[in-house]
Amino acid sequence: MPPTVGAAPELERLGDEIAELSAQLDAATARLLDLIREFDARGGWGNGSGFRSCAHWLTWRVGMDPGAARERVRVARALGTLPRLAEALACGELSYSKVRALTRVATPETEERLLKVGRAGTAEHVERIVRGWRRVDRIAEAKQGIQRHRSRGLHVYQDEDGMVVIRGRLEPETGAVLMKALEASREALYQLARNNGVINKNVPAETLHPETGLLVCEDTPTWSQQQADALGLLAETALHHGIDPGTPGERYQVVVHVDAPVLAESDASTAADACGTADASAASNAPGQSVLENGTHVSAATSRRLACDSTRVVMRHDADGHATDVGARTRTIPPALRRALQHRDHGCRFPGCGLPFGQGHHIRHWANGGPTTLSNLAMLCRRHHRAVHEDGYQVERLPDGELQFRLPDGRLFPDVPPRAPVPPDPAERLRAQNEAEDLHIHPRVAIPDWSGERLDLGWAIDVLHPLAASNS
């Protein structure tokens, strides 16, 4: 039944209340985003709490959908460099929907013109303009990528004095790989210099190179000389080991040699000669060691984590350390059991995580007699598997089959934290808080300047986007 004429003022009042409260919520959202940005910047989500990101923490602590949580963090970070948009949201002048869309493309240079877009149009207009803006950005980015690809090159030639000169331009991703490889090579040379006694930590700091710690003297190479030495080491290593990376399975395999006592939490009754390993293994005759193929030692906790879900080879040794028996390579968790585990857990079981992929975790480690059965297994993502083994988090299965997690200090880590208390009249409290912030919000504060005309998207982008003319 249509409303009567006498009901019109009442409906108008309801409409004004809806509009005003919506603007009040947008102002409160601005404050919420400020808090999220500060919490994220200060690393509150990762302060020993086991969360992998601020968005992950929000899904657990506030109950947000993961996608919405990631978007809140993105918008909060963006508004840190867009003060005009942040102010418009805080005043209730722009809705969160508009600001969320505008922050996808806004920069400090374009913020002012995009703020006018938000004030002038509806949320639908803003979304359409942002989509058009991003199309122009993608065209410009594609052109830039093509130009970068075409301008790549490397020139190597011999100078008159016999020195080889190298000059080139690499694409960003290739250059990033090269810089990482040079960094690793410099570190290897740095370690060699340390072993040879070139580095002396007992000399005054001003006599050491600020980045390498090498003694600054006639025999100490400069930074550019170290770069040249690192490049030479890269070339020698590539030729020595061969350019062919081998089969994909072997290329990415990591081998860890672990003595049996390392895997057990107590070495009182585990002095067996067997050696468990992660991702293929052998053993050494040194008791209780855990090393990578290159000789780097890893902690016992790391060894237990790697062995928790890995390929395992058991070797036995005599008193002189010679291998006397080598067993077949087996999976710690058989494939059929892994499929059952994935089907049951559907991803990481750590509170608030839920990543759809992960590793099998033995609640009681197999090296301590724990069975490889569904009741003794739980799916954990890589980060939370490490948290349980190396960061002190604890997990146990209760008699009813549910998992219970505890913080490193032993406190219970609930799947869902308690909700924050809500005042009896949250809307009135929100108004009072905004008024205390000197925000004068009324029902018409967020009405756009739009007069009802049709949006000419092409003209709007040509006028607004600084690159539109060059890409047309």
Q: What are the pLDDT digits (tens) for 112-151?
A: 999 999 988 888 999 999 999 888 887 777 777 777 778 8
For 86, residues 6+ apart whose C-beta sits below 8 A from its C-beta are: 30, 33, 34, 79, 80
Query: What H or E segment, with its residue span, contains residue 409?
Result: none
Q: How confident is the model at residue 33 (pLDDT cuts 50, 70, 90)?
A: very high
What tokens does 180 get?
């990482």
Whether the CB-CB separation of 378 and 345 falls below 8 Å is answered with yes
Lowest-pLDDT choice from 139-148, 225-234, 395-404, 459-468: 139-148
pLDDT at residue 246 is higher than 60: no
Between strands 311-312 and 164-169, the pairing is: unpaired
User: Which residues are bridge partners to 167 per DSSP?
Assistant: 155
Query: Running DSSP on this structure, what letter comes out for residue 378?
Result: E
Averaged confidence pLDDT in the chain: 77
Which tokens in the block code for residue 318? Answer: 């005599």
Distance of CA 57 to the CA centre of its chain: 13
The region that residue 93 occupies, defined by phi over 0 for left and psi between -120 and 50 for alpha, beta otherwise, is: alpha
pLDDT (0 to 100) of residue 294: 57
pLDDT of 181: 86
Is the separation of the CB atoms in 30 and 90 below 8 Å? yes
CA gap 335, 391 in Å, rounded: 28
| pLDDT for 286 beyond 60 | no
More reliable by pLDDT, 217 or 111 = 111
CA nearest neighbour of 93 among 439, 445, 434: 445
CA 238/CA 132 separation, integer angstroms = 47
DSSP alpha helices (H): ranges in 107-244? 111-120, 123-151, 172-195, 223-241
Output the pTM of the full model.
0.57
Q: Looking at residue 471, what is its pLDDT?
A: 56
Q: What is the pLDDT of residue 108?
A: 93
Quick one: the chain helix, strand, coil %, rounded to 5?
A: 50, 10, 40
pLDDT of residue 325: 67
pLDDT value, residue 356: 82
